[in-house]
Amino acid sequence: MSEVWNGFRISSPFGYRTHPITKQRHTFHTGIDLVKKHLAPIEAFISGRVLFVGMGQQGSGFGGYGNVVLIQDAIGRGNVYAHLHDVSVRVGQTVKKGQVIGRQGSTGNSTGSHLHFEVRKAASSNVPYGWIADRPNNCVEPTAYVDAYKEPVKSNPVPKPGTGGKITLKIDGRWGPQTTRALQDAISTVTDGIISDQTRNQASQAIIGVEFGNGRNGSLVIKRLQRIVGSKQDGLIGPHTVRAMQKHLCTVQDGVISTPNSLMVRTLQRRLKIGNLK
Ligand SMILES: [Zn+2]
């Protein structure tokens, strides 16, 4: 477990689970449930601007969330802090990472005092912020997101997600530097188009035009990709990682990136283009 949730106990992870209240199976948990003590101060995990504060109303995208603080980070994603007992920030305020935003509580649909933390993509929606019915596609795995999050450097502003930003990516099934750059942008690492520290192996040969380093530590962008697709995080693209990517992208799982036009790479490019890798 990473140190992302330092001081918290995870009481329910992100993803599919049996719902704690309705007992319905295979419901999607859109965030992570974190527990300190009841009324413990809750600090922002990521800096940003407060977009919404208050009791989540049905139909607002925050129904059942109780007392909510919504903070938009510099990448444009919505960081949702829910079930708070009370709130100590106001709308429009800039909040620094580590700043107290409220206290842990049990407001809204909650089985006990905890923090529900959720990261939403900016969505094309009419409701206040980032709500779409397809929740797994609108919510990001929060542990990887917070862990990978870096404040953008002023000279290198991060484009608005979902717009494709400054990255023009052709969906051609060839994994070249542009695909690497789009992947780096999606995963919030440097966007230099180079997979560094990647030992050349059989699978990497199949990726046309990708620049690789000669390191043994594995590439950071590949490690983060491996975390998303659920394969061993060694930072090296091998058949196991390719197979996990294929599973994640719902293409044929043969562990091979075919050339010159790979269906998996095309699917990856399409997902990167619409800002929906996770
Ligand atoms: Zn929750």
pLDDT in tens, the chain (278 residues): 458 899 999 999 998 877 777 777 777 899 999 999 999 999 999 999 998 999 998 888 889 999 999 998 887 788 999 999 999 999 999 999 999 999 999 999 999 999 999 998 865 445 556 666 667 777 888 998 999 888 776 544 445 444 444 557 888 888 877 888 888 888 877 777 777 766 556 555 555 556 666 666 677 888 889 999 998 888 888 788 888 988 888 878 888 787 777 888 888 988 888 777 88
What secondary structure does DSSP assign to 8-33, as a single string?
A: -EEEE-SEEE--TTT--TTEEE-SEE
Could you please state the CATH topology (level 3) that the domain comprising 3-148 is classified under: Glucose Permease (Domain IIA) (2.70.70)
Q: How many beta carbons lie within 10 A of that of residue 61, not counting itself?
A: 23
Q: What pLDDT score does 90 carry?
A: 94
pLDDT at position 148: 87
pLDDT of residue 133: 60
Query: If DSSP codes are grouped into helix, strand and coil, which group holds residue 5?
Result: helix
CA 109 – ligand 1 centroid, Å:
9
Measured distance CA(133)–CA(120) in Å, rounded: 12
Question: Which pLDDT does position 124 carry in this prediction?
Answer: 44
What is the pLDDT at residue 184? Answer: 84
Element (H, E) at 35: strand 32-35
Distances (CA, A) of 6 to 20, 42, 69, 227, 275: 24, 12, 20, 19, 29
**pLDDT confidence of residue 55:** 95
Ligand 1 geometric centre to CA of 31 (Å): 5
**DSSP code string of 130-166:** S--S-HHHHEE-HHHHHHH--PPPTTSPPPPTTS-TT
User: Rounded to the nearest whole angstrom, what is the distance from the C-alpha of residue 135 to the centroid of ligand 1?
Assistant: 13
Q: Say if residues 182 and 162 touch (Cβ distance below 8 Å).
A: no
Sign of CA dihedral 121, 195, 254, 258: positive
Residue extents of the structural domains in the chain:
3-148, 177-273
Q: How far is the CA of 163 from the centre of ligand 1 (A)?
A: 29
Preceding amide of 152 cis, omega within 30: no
